[in-house]
Chains A and B, each alone.
Chain A
Amino acid sequence: GAGVSQSPRYKVTKRGQDVALRCDPISGHVSLYWYRQALGQGPEFLTYFNYEAQQDKSGLPNDRFSAERPEGSISTLTIQRTEQRDSAMYRCASSLAPRPIGTSGRGYEQYFGPGTRLTVT
């Protein structure tokens, strides 16, 4: 079936502009995560949704970053007044269940999208 998709794949914007990054999770997946990944580093947690509810946004760097998932499916990460330090790969991931299930943890594994590479000039 179709995996997690993200758009745009590449975004170049000028400093001060707003950008909106879109994530389309695997159909039926309850949970959706946003990460930022710098080159050569591990994904950095930004925020998490369970259905349409934003359960944890503690990783958002500042109030210029926001995210929504209004119908519990597609999510948008918005960065207002972009700065050069916002340049990075932004990835989303989805999982079937909000918590590990049983002893195997099946259903909780996160499937990552291809990412949006954001460059702020």
Chain B
Amino acid sequence: GENVEQHPSTLSVQEGDSAVIKCTYSDSASNYFPWYKQELGKRPQLIIDIRSNVGEKKDQRIAVTLNKTAKHFSLHITETQPEDSAVYFCAATFTGGFKTIFGAGTRLFVKA
């Protein structure tokens, strides 16, 4: 069935280090992969997204890579800061772009 798996569930890094979160998806027809950041008590907010015809996309300190063959995509945050601490969700679209399935989330702690 439609599924997105996300790892790790918790990640703790020192300020200035890099953080990597990985996701896999089940439907090879998926073509859009957004990443959301959710701070405590707030709504999820889009931080970066990638289409299936692109292998990598970067926006300042964050980047996303996609391996269509392996059905893997990853979020990379460099030079982490305490304000990066939040829960991050990956997602993938299924069935023609209508249905979005989210991963279970990664709680990122950045220690000052």
Contact = CB atoms under 8 A, between A and B. Distances in A.
Interface residues of B, number: 29
Bin the interface of chain A by size.
20 to 34
Contacts of A42: 6, 89, 91, 102-105
A43 B46 contact: no
Nearest to A6: B43
A46 to B, nearest CB: 10
Interface of B: 6, 31-32, 34, 36, 43-46, 49-51, 53-54, 87, 89, 91, 93, 95-105
A30 B47 CA distance: 21
15 contacts: A35-B102, A41-B105, A45-B101, A45-B102, A48-B98, A50-B98, A56-B99, A59-B99, A91-B43, A99-B97, A100-B32, A103-B51, A103-B54, A112-B44, A113-B43
A103 B49 CA distance: 11
A42 B45 CA distance: 12
B91 to A, nearest CB: 8
Given A48-B98, A100-B32, A100-B93, 7 more contacts: A40-B87, A40-B105, A42-B102, A91-B43, A98-B97, A100-B31, A110-B34
B100 A110 contact: yes
A108 B32 contact: yes
B104 A41 contact: yes
B43 A114 contact: yes
Nearest to A109: B46
Contacts of B103: 42
